[in-house]
């Protein structure tokens, strides 16, 4: 059993998440041989005949694209590991500007760079947009999470290696949250920094934009449990993935409307910075962009004027 982990445009957090199996790693390396993982070992290219490869990160430049092609060719089973691979992750936010604007800002218009700064040219060129790996190659499995949580990987990795099937939760973050609904009166949208949320009741009901209802679970609702509204880092919930007319934005608006009896239009007027508050992890995903009522197309257009 040969395993590989490939890294594209990401933060290496998903490889660390695999290392975060801690002592279970010793069992894993007894049952399977890790033949390629650039963060932890020196093998420079993925070998032929990999049984299971995990690909982490999004595709943001030509080299990422080539590496994705190669790992697909050389592995029997290819698993998209983490939210970047599944939905583009934060790399998708770079689509709010044109590539030229990004380079100009980074190398010429920062507080500490000169206006005559060089823009690198002898480096892998950017693709015209960010991609989730599934937009460009056939994936066998998707494991969401930024990064996927330890408890969940402790179940899934041994099962993958053994070829077993698993019965995993398919519910949203709300299903793992211990907060009570409580009464929702005089609801008004708050910025996520405002005031101190009460620990007992639903954050959304208190006026905080908590993405729990539209976000895939398996994280134990760790942010809401620590009094922090969900940011959606696990990607969309299953109902949104399944239904073409459901999207993060319209389902959030609908959910708030159901909760508060406010009209959807009124709620939409209160929303702010939709890109960074609702779509920070999914802008790069063609699946999410292609939904008929997705806001992604507008966001990308608005910002690149």
Partner 1 sequence: MKEITINPVTRIEGHARVKINLDDSGNVDNAHFEVVELRGFEKFMIGAAVEEAPRITPRICGICPTAHHIAAAKACDEIFGAAPPATGKKLRELLMVGQFIHSHSLHFFMLAAPDFLIGHDAPAAERSVLGLVKKAPDIAKKAIEVRKFGQRMTEAIGGKPIHPSTCIPGGVSYPLAESKRLELLEMSKKSLETAREGWNIARTILDQTDLSFGAVDTAFMGMSDNGRFSAYNGEVNVIGKDGNPVSAFSGADYLNLIEEYSEDWSYLKFSRLKGGDYYRVGPLARLNIVKEMGTPEADAALAEYRSTFGEFTQTTLAYNMARYIEFLSCCEKAVEYLSDPSICGGDVRTPVSGVSKSRGVGIVEAPRGTLIHDYSVDEEGFITDCNLIVATCQNNFGMDRGVEDVARKVVSGGSLSESAANRIEMVIRAYDPCISCATHAIGQMPVDIELVRRKPER
8 lies in the binding site for partner 1 (CB under 8 A): yes
For the segment 103-122, give every residue that binds partner 1 (CB under 8 A): 105-107, 110-114, 117-122
199 lies in the binding site for partner 1 (CB under 8 A): yes
β-pair type (2-7, 59-61):
unpaired
- Minimum CB separation of residue 80 from partner 1 in Å reads 16
11 lies in the binding site for partner 1 (CB under 8 A): yes
171 lies in the binding site for partner 1 (CB under 8 A): no
Quick one: 9 exposed, middle or buried, by C-beta within 10 A (0-12, 13-18, 19+)? Answer: buried
175 lies in the binding site for partner 1 (CB under 8 A): no
273 lies in the binding site for partner 1 (CB under 8 A): yes
49 lies in the binding site for partner 1 (CB under 8 A): no
192 lies in the binding site for partner 1 (CB under 8 A): yes
For the segment 282-301, give every residue that binds partner 1 (CB under 8 A): none
Q: How many other C-beta atoms can be found within 10 angstroms of the C-beta atom of residue 75?
A: 24
102 lies in the binding site for partner 1 (CB under 8 A): yes
Distance of alpha carbon 144 from alpha carbon 152, whole angstroms? 10
Query: From residue 111, how far is each of 100, 106, 303 by CA, in Å?
Result: 18, 10, 22
φ/ψ bin of 120: left (φ > 0), alpha (ψ from -120 to 50), beta (otherwise)? beta
**Identified binder of partner 1 from the candidate list 272, 297, 298, 304, rule CB under 8 A:** 272
**Identified binder of partner 1 from the candidate list 193, 242, 265, 305, rule CB under 8 A:** 193
3-state SS, residue 31: helix
């Amino acid at each position: 059993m040969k395993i590989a982990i490939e890294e594209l445009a990401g933060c290496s957090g998903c490889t660390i998440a695999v290392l975060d199996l801690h002592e279970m790693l010793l069992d894993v390396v007894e049952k399977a041989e890790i033949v390629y993982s650039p963060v932890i070992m020196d093998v420079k290219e993925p070998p032929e005949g990999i049984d299971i490869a995990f690909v982490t990160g999004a595709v943001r430049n030509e080299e990422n694209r080539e590496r994705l092609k190669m790992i697909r060719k050389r592995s029997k089973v290819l698993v998209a590991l983490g939210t970047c691979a599944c939905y583009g992750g934060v790399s998708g936010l770079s689509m709010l500007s044109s590539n030229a604007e990004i380079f100009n800002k980074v190398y010429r218009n920062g507080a500490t760079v000169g206006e005559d700064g060089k823009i690198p040219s002898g480096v892998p060129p950017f693709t015209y947009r960010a991609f989730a790996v599934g937009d460009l190659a056939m994936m066998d499995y998707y494991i969401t999470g930024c990064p996927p949580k330890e408890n969940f990987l402790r179940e899934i990795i041994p099962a993958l290696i053994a070829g077993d099937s698993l019965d995993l939760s398919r519910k949203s973050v709300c299903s793992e949250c211990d907060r009570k609904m409580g009464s929702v009166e005089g609801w008004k949208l708050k910025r996520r920094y405002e005031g101190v949320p009460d620990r007992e009741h639903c954050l959304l009901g208190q006026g905080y934009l908590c993405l729990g209802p539209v976000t895939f679970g398996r994280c134990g609702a760790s942010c809401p449990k620590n009094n922090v509204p969900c940011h959606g880092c696990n990607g969309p919930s299953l109902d949104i993935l399944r239904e073409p007319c459901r999207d993060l934005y319209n389902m959030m608006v609908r959910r708030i409307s159901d909760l508060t009896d406010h009209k959807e239009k009124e709620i939409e007027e209160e929303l702010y910075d939709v890109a960074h508050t609702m779509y920070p992890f999914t802008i790069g995903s063609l699946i999410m962009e292609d939904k008929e009522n997705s806001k992604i197309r507008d966001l990308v257009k608005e910002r690149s004027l």
